Every structure is written in C-alpha cells, then in structure tokens.
A and B are shown apart, each in its own frame.
Chain A
Amino acid sequence: MTRGDAQTYKIALVGNPNSGKSTIFNQLTGLRQKTGNFPGVTVDIKSGKIRFAGGIEAILTDLPGTYSLYPTSSDEKIVAALLTHPAHANFPDGIVYIADTNHLEKHLLLLTQIMDLGIPILLALNMSDTAAELGIKVNIIRLSERLGVPVVFVSGRTGENIDRLQAELEKMMLGTQAIHKTAAFYTPTEAEKQLVEAVQLNLGTENPYRALLIAHHYQWLPFLQHSERETLAAIVETKHFQSLRAQVDETLDRFDRFTPFVQESVQEAPTFPNTTTDRLDALLTHRIGGPLIFFAVMLLMFQAIFDWSVYPMDWIETGFSWLNDGLKAALPAGWFSDLFTDGILAGLSGILIFIPQIAILFLLITILEEVGYMSRVVFMFDKTMRRAGMNGRSVISLIGGGACAVPAIMSSRTIGNWQERLITIMVTPFISCSARIPVYLVLIGLAVPAVKIGGLINAQTLVFASMYALGVIAAFASGWAMKKWLRTREPSFLAIELPEYRMPDWKNVALTVWEKVAAFVWGAGKIILFVSIALWGLSRFGPGNAVETAENTAREKAQTTQLSTSETEDLIAHHRLEASYAGQMGKFIEPAIRPLGYDWKIGIALLTSFAAREVFTGTLAVLYNMGSAEPDISSRTDNQAKVTMRAKMREETFSDNGKPVYTLATALSLLVFYALALQCMSTIAVVKRETGSWKWALFQFTFMSALAYVVAWLVYLLFS
C-alpha cells in the first residue's frame, strides 16, 4: 500500500450513473480541474488536483459512470479497460467509490467488483436532497465492518463532510486505513477457477478477478496484444466458457452476498411515496402532453438563443470594429498592418462572435441534462429514433448538434450498439449548427424579401426555419437509408434510468458551459484563425507580378472611363483579387459550381468554408473588400457595413453574360448547400477519432458534399 510518493498519487472517482459523482468531484477539486487527454481512450476525462493539509497533492480523475465491470457502452468500457490494466499510465492507486444512499443496494455491485481487483477503495455515501425526505438511516460503522471498506457520508450538494472524505483519502494514500479487506468478495465457480488459472499462467496476470475479467472481455480490451488475444480465445474455447451466463450468475451471486449487509446496516429503509418526480412525470411523459411540452421547450430554447445573443454579439462586433479602425489609423500602412487587421483581427472576431450563441445553447442543454429531463426525452422518442436507425439516446446528440456537432458527436458514446451510434455520428452534422446561422442570415437578408406571407409569417423567418427543417429531414432520411444498408445484428438497448428531477448544480453547469465554449474557441478557433490568415495571403498575393499588372490595368481602365476615386478603388480591388492565388483557385473550380449558380468569388468562399463554414461571411467580406465589416453581418442591427456589403453583393454580375449573381435562385441554392454540406474540419477530425478510422469520416464527407451539390443544383433549377 505504500505505492509511489504522495506527489503522484492517483485517485479515481468511480460510481453508477446518477450517483452524484460529478458534484463530489467539483467539491473535492474546486476549480483546479481540466479536461485532459487520457492515453489510449478517446474520451474527455476530467482530472483535478486535491491539496491536503500537509501540502500533499493527489490527482483525482472522474471516470464515466458505469453500473458494472461488464460494460454495454463505450463509455462504460473505458472503466473496465482501465481497471484491468495496471500498466496504464492513469491506473489509479486508490478509488473513491460514490454510491447514492437512497439506492444503496443497487449501487454496491460495482464496489464489490472493484474490491476484488485489490485496488484500495473508499466508499462515500452521497446524501441526495431527497434522502431526508425518504427517511433513510444507515449505520455506516456496521456497513463498513461488513463490507470491509471505510465508509463516509458526504453531501455533494452542500459540501457537508467533504473534509471527512478528504481525511479518509489521506489515510488511503498513506496506507493507514483502519479497514482493508484482502479476501475476495466473489468466490468463482470451479469452471471459472480453471479459466482464471489458465489466464494467469499464460498472461502472468496476478489478480484472479482481473484474469477473469480479461477472459470475459478479451475480444475488445485495447491493451491486449494480438497473440494474447489468440491465446485467450483458445482458452475460452477449450474451457467452454459462456461469458454472458457467467456474468449474470456472478452479478446475482454478488447481490445475494451483500444484500444482507445492506439490510443489517440500513436502520430505516427508504419509503418511496409519490414524489414530485412522479407528479412531474405524469405531465412531462404524458402521452400527448409530453411531446407537446418537448416541442415547446425546443422552440423556447431557440428563441432564447436568438433573443439573448443579440446584445453580447453587438458588443463584440462594436468592440472589434472600434479596435480595427483604431489600429488601421495607428499602424503605418503596409502589408504587415493589413495582415494584422484584415487577417488576424478579422479572424479573431469571426471566432468570438459565436461565443454568445454557443454559450447560451450549451447552458440550456446542460440545464436540461442536469435536471434529468433529457432521459425522459430519450424514453419518449426512442421509437421515433429507431425508425431512423438510431437509439433514443441519439436525441441528445441531435439536439446538441444545434449548437455544435463536435461535442454532440462525442455525446453519442452512451449508445451501446455500434450501428446506432455510427448512424448518430453520421447524421448529427446535418442538424444546423450555430456556425451556419451567420451564413443563413446574410444570404436570406440578401435574396429573400421581408414580406409577410398571407399577412402572417415573414418570408425571411420562413426560409430560416426551413433550413433547420431541411437539416432534420436530411438527418432522419439518411439515418433511415443507412439502417437499410448496414443491417448488422448486435444487441441494442434502451434500458435507461430516469433519475429524480432535481435543481441543477449551478457550479457544474457553469463549469460545463465554460469548458465547451473554451474547447470551441481553441479547437475551431485555431482553424478559423489559420484560414483567415491564409485567405488574406492568398487573396493579396498572386503568381509572379500578376497582382501588380492587374492593378495597373485597372488604373488605366479607370482613367479612360473617368471613374470616381471610390469606384477606382473598387475596380482595383476587384482586379487584384481576380489575379491573386485565391482568384485563380476560384476560377479553376468555377465550371464545377456554375450549374449551382455560383461564380468564382463564391467558389473561393466555398473552398475556404470546407475548413469551417463560419469562414464564409469572413471570406466574402475579404473578397468584397470590406475589411473589418465582417462581424456586422451576423447582427440584426442594420448598420452601414451590412448595407454596403449587401449592396456590393447585389451589384455582382457574372463576367461572361453580365447577369446578376445573387438572384433568389443562387441564394437559395447556396443556403441549401450550406445546410447539407459537411464543411468543418473539426467535425471530420472528431468523426475520425470516434469511429477509429478515416473510412467513416471520408464517407460522411463525400456523402454530405454530394447530397449538398445535388440538392443545391435542383433548387437552382427550380427557382431560376
């Protein structure tokens, strides 16, 4: 028990879902936490430092909630894979096990499994808000004696007894725990014993229960070598080991053993009267009322996103244009200043302008999850989602996709069935994310008249809502098609717990929103910044002295036609751009996009948008020589810059036939293209990470781009 020095002591927080783990994690670590890389797993695992009185520090890791070491989803597999792999860099020296006092019996299964792995463990009984209401009383001394582990009461909500938990932790770290049971909790059957011995002999696994788990999970445990996997397969084969049956038998045996301990220790068993949760669920999961309330909640959510974000977005853009003007005036003219203002600053504002909407969307989604409403949505819409080849749990990903596909795709990890999870990952980017909003706004403002249809609905609002509807339809239709195409046979579960409704833990909400927004700013932000700088360079420079030649030609032309100064400037800018690298690229792809009604300038915007679609408006701003005007586009305040940009876009004509570029048909075709195409490097990267190969990421990219092209083409034909 004297492993390592206290400086590097690693503690893992383990428990069932809904045990209140994350609140206790926050209580223990405060704000000293980060979401870090965990070698070998593709999951964001939070870790934080705990400081003890004597200046000793430990690293606490919050593992995903799981019911057992026999996992059914990839989230749960992480826990089993880590705890069966002592050589892992994050293998814990000790475990704090969190159990819900109200449902003690159910929460102890995993505890006894971990005890059998021989990892020092400490049981923390979390008192929920309703524990007192339910009238439960537990004799923790008795429970501790019977189970053979130290037990403490804590309250994640109020922080009560956190100091006592810390004191016990310190004892665990120093190896001075009063109680430490060494005998195994579960006695394997004769068949299991033989199996365990064979595994121990071949793999050198010391702990018998670890050997048993490896035999159960040899097909997917990531740390096993190919040869080890073959050996294990042979062992399982010759011993006629029936994994599933053995798992159930072991689980029931464990329950039979610890149930008496719980009964002895629980002095007053909880009664479960009709609580607030039951009354709320009678309404919220009602046959008719449930879905109606859900749609009302969604409507309010998107309403809030638009209404609340107007002001902070205005502040950000005002701040940036002020900064930009100031810098332009202060800095000496030259390419360096241009790079700083039109490249870097324009890029930065393109990132920051999204923060209000993303933060509000994440705030509302996190609150819905924290209060326990999301699992009700899963229950209500499981059937609907299954029609499209998904799982009820996919609802959470699809709703999250309205903010940003990257975290939404990561939240699909709770789906156990691979096919359902894969389809969820494939279709989530169809849901219109917050990055599409500015593109929609500028194009709709340009081409759709603000007239009331039938005196009721604004045509612009209607088109905007249609874009969201289009995304949802595309998601469900392609999910349905993929289901027909894949057809694998693998067990698929709903079986989900519907936790008690509770007030959100505001600290947790704030931390989650902060993390998600920070992840967006750093992840997508780097790309946007890089693209805007590259774009600035590509549109400013050209092969040889082509740009200079173009400028001279434009000057001569301006002189012969006697243009005004500002008209001359525009003509020069246009000619320079056409001669630049960006212009050449746009011209190169123009034949391919001409059927959709796009010219070479839109072509450049399309190309750059494949890095991140939020680059679109920024690109157009650069292309139409608007400099810092870009952030103004996404605003609703009709200021000068937006009007100028739209005016310039309206004047655009095709170079060969002189017809205007931005007709209704082109704008609608572009809208549809942006709604359906996968133009986001971050999404491609996260899909590769989550599916484990480039295959699905490339498939998704190709499929979505092809669909976007075809539908945009049809829309153009229909409206032109």
Chain B
Amino acid sequence: MLRRYKTVPDLKAHESAAAISFVDPALACKLTAMGVRPGAVIEMIRKAPFGKAYYIKVDGIRLALREEEAFSILLEI
C-alpha cells in the first residue's frame, strides 16, 4: 500500500516538508500553541545523541521532539 504522507523521522538531515495534520489530539494542542500548525514547513536538523528525539526547525523556531511526537506529525510527500 502506498502511503500518502510521511512523518518527521522520515526526513533526512536538512530536508523539509509541510505539515498536514497531527495524529494525537493532546500533542496537537501543545504543538499548535507553540506555533507548529498544518501548513508549516518543518526542517529536520538532527537526531538526538542517544536517539529517540529530534531537533527540528519550524519558521525559524527550533524545537526538540520525542520520537512519538515526531511520528504524530503527518507531512506532505
């Protein structure tokens, strides 16, 4: 089956994609308040030293997300 979206961990370093929606409503609430909204372009910066977390950039804002949080953001292909 072909997926019509990818998620943040699929991005390679310095690759960007626009967010479509969020899977987890509680996290959606937190992320939208922090300025990560559907349509926002998310750039992958790097993985955490021990893994399980990602450093991303959204509209000039730098954010750290856990793996689960990163998986819950659906991105355009």
Binding site for B on A (CB under 8 A): 67-68, 70, 72, 102-103, 105-106, 109, 134, 244-245, 247-248, 251-252, 255, 270, 272, 277-278, 281, 285-288, 290-291, 375, 378-384, 386, 392, 491, 493-500
Contacts and interface: CB of A to CB of B under 8 A. Distances in A.
Nearest to B66: A494
Contacts of B6: none
B27 to A, nearest CB: 7
A378 B64 contact: yes
B33 interface: yes
25 contacts: A68-B33, A103-B59, A109-B35, A244-B26, A248-B25, A248-B29, A251-B29, A255-B32, A278-B45, A281-B55, A285-B46, A288-B49, A375-B64, A379-B55, A380-B53, A382-B48, A392-B53, A491-B26, A493-B66, A494-B64, A495-B34, A497-B62, A498-B62, A498-B63, A499-B62
Contact of B48 (A134, A383, A500): A383
Given A72-B30, A495-B34, A285 B55 contact: yes
Nearest to A102: B60
Contacts of B22: 248
B57 to A, nearest CB: 8
A493 B64 CA distance: 10
A379 B47 CA distance: 10
Given A72-B29, A251-B29, 14 more contacts: A67-B30, A68-B33, A103-B59, A106-B35, A244-B26, A272-B60, A386-B52, A495-B31, A495-B64, A495-B66, A497-B61, A497-B62, A498-B55, A500-B62
Contact of B27 (A106, A277, A378, A493): A493
B34 A106 contact: yes
Give the most central of B48, B55, B69: most A CB within 10 Å.
Answer: B48
A578 to B, nearest CB: 56
A251 B51 contact: no
Contacts of B49: 285-288, 290-291, 380
B67 to A, nearest CB: 9
Given A106-B35, A494-B66, A245 B25 contact: yes
A716 B45 CA distance: 52
Nearest to A282: B46
Contact of A380 (B35, B48, B60): B48
B30 A103 contact: no
A285 B45 CA distance: 10
A103 B60 contact: yes
B29 A379 contact: no
B17 interface: no
Contacts of B51: 383
Nearest to A490: B26
A109 B29 contact: no
B55 A495 contact: no
Interface string B3-40: 00000000000000000001011111111111101100
B35 A105 contact: yes
Nearest to B21: A248
Nearest to A255: B37
B60 to A, nearest CB: 4
Contacts of A67: 30, 33-34
A287 B68 CA distance: 20
Contact of A496 (B35, B46, B52, B64): B64
Ranked 5 nearest A-B pairs via Cβ: A106-B35, A272-B60, A379-B64, A68-B33, A498-B62
Contact of A383 (B30, B32, B53, B62): B53
Contacts of A285: 46, 48-49, 55
Given A252-B37, A497-B62, A498-B55, A380 B29 contact: no
Nearest to B67: A383
Nearest to A498: B62
Contact of B63 (A109, A272, A497, A500): A497
B69 A493 contact: yes
A28 B42 CA distance: 37
Given A285-B46, A383-B48, A252 B32 contact: yes
Nearest to A416: B30
B77 to A, nearest CB: 23
A392 B65 CA distance: 11
B48 A379 contact: yes
A287 B31 CA distance: 25
Contact of B45 (A281, A290, A375, A491): A281
Nearest to A106: B35
A102 B62 CA distance: 13
A70 B29 contact: yes
Give the most central of A134, A491, A499: most B CB within 10 Å.
Answer: A491
Give the most central of A103, A281, A375, A382: most B CB within 10 Å.
Answer: A382
A365 B45 CA distance: 27
B3 to A, nearest CB: 23
Nearest to A378: B64
Contacts of B45: 278, 281
A132 to B, nearest CB: 15
Contacts of B52: 382-383, 386
Contacts of A278: 45
Given A248-B25, A379-B55, A495 B50 contact: no
B62 A251 contact: no
